[in-house]
Amino acid sequence: MKKILFLLAMLPMLVFTACSDDDENSLSLDKSEISLYYEDEIKLTASDNVTWSSEDEFVAKVSSNGVVEGGHIGKTFIVASNGSETVKCAVEVKPKYNTFVEPALDFGASKADIKAKEKRELISETATGLGYKDSKDGVAIIYTFKNGKMNACGFGLQYKYADDIMDFLLERYAPATMNDDKNTFIFVNGMSGKWDMMVALTVQSGMIQVMYAPKDATSKSISNEVPNIMEHARMILE
């Protein structure tokens, strides 16, 4: 009986000691979730020396000292590890520019499916295409079809929207490559080797065309690490 009473008396001390040790060794961050815009930065601080990483660097990157930079619209986690423990911070990169409403990016859908989803005014229809009038003056929405399935879609824009469309695309997609001869600039929706959709911006006859298409077997090898592409694009659009 004396042994039992002794153990009962010691139990609170044992529990307190165990909790104290766990608290001392527990890895934590000063923020459990953050939100930011494209190219904005927020610093995270850990309770220990850690190695930082991002689960999706297309959405957000993190430096070796915990500075998170917004990449493209989406959600991911920043991970901090001290070798034995790991903690995460939820990150959301929010849109700053909601200037346009993108087409329904439902590749492979039938014309009837697109008509059911598209809420803008239908102004033209052919066997291989649909055209809609956007609520913004000088903006048209285009869908093209092959073998009855939607294979591409996009915007037709007046030149006055040059700056707007550039800002809109940059916070959603990564500049990838360009064709100077045709004044065409290609964006992709992921890191090199991980993207599955291309966005082509073409400047022609004072108009801007932005077309979306899925990656396929005929797509060229595209990297989103081409330097100075946006400088070239803005020079043409000025």
What's the mean per-residue pLDDT of the chain? Answer: 84
Instruction: Tell me the per-residue pLDDT of 94-142, one tens digit each, with 9 for 90 and over.
Output: 999 999 999 999 999 999 999 999 999 999 999 999 999 999 999 999 9
3-state DSSP call for residue 178?
strand
Same domain, 81 and 185: no
* Domain's final residue, options 39, 58, 93: 93
Same domain, 52 and 118: no
- Kindly report the CATH number assigned to the domain that includes residue 38: 2.60.40.1080
- Residue 233, phi then psi, degrees to nearest 5: -65, -45
Cα–Cα distance for residue pair 160/148, rounded to 1 Å: 34
3-state DSSP call for residue 158?
strand
Q: With a cut of 90, say whether residue 174 has pLDDT above it.
A: yes
Cα–Cα distance for residue pair 105/94, rounded to 1 Å: 19
- How is residue 224 annotated by DSSP? S
Per-residue pLDDT band at 153 (split at 50, 70, 90):
very high
| pLDDT (average), residues 208-221 | 76
Same domain, 136 and 74: no
Same domain, 88 and 123: no
Cα–Cα distance for residue pair 170/157, rounded to 1 Å: 17
Give the CA angle between residues 112, 135, 163 to the nearest 5°.
115
* Domain's final residue, options 36, 65, 93: 93
* Domain's final residue, options 62, 93, 124: 93
Same domain, 219 and 125: yes
Same domain, 201 and 138: yes
Same domain, 37 and 141: no
Per-residue pLDDT band at 180 (split at 50, 70, 90):
low
Same domain, 49 and 143: no
Boundaries of domain holding 161: 111-237
- Provide the pLDDT for residue 205: 77
Is the residue at 228 inside a domain? yes
Same domain, 67 and 136: no
Same domain, 87 and 205: no
Is the residue at 127 inside a domain? yes
Is the residue at 16 inside a domain? no
Cα–Cα distance for residue pair 26/31, rounded to 1 Å: 15
Same domain, 68 and 184: no
Is residue 80 within 8 Å of residue 66, measured between CB atoms? yes
Say how many domains are in the chain. 2
- Output 61-69 pairs: Cβ under 8 A, ≥24 positions apart: 67/41, 67/42, 67/43, 68/34, 68/36, 68/41, 68/42, 68/43, 68/44, 69/39, 69/40, 69/41
Instruction: Tell me the per-residue pLDDT of 52-108, one tens digit each, with 9 for 90 and over.
Output: 999 999 999 999 999 999 999 999 999 999 999 999 999 999 999 999 999 999 999
Is the residue at 7 inside a domain? no
Same domain, 135 and 218: yes
| pLDDT (average), residues 153-176 | 93
| pLDDT (average), residues 27-38 | 96
Beta-strand relationship, 41-43 and 67-70: antiparallel
Instruction: Tell me the per-residue pLDDT of 9-31, one tens digit each, with 9 for 90 and over.
Output: 444 444 433 333 344 559 999 99
Q: With a cut of 80, say whether residue 236 has pLDDT above it.
A: no
Per-residue pLDDT band at 183 (split at 50, 70, 90):
confident
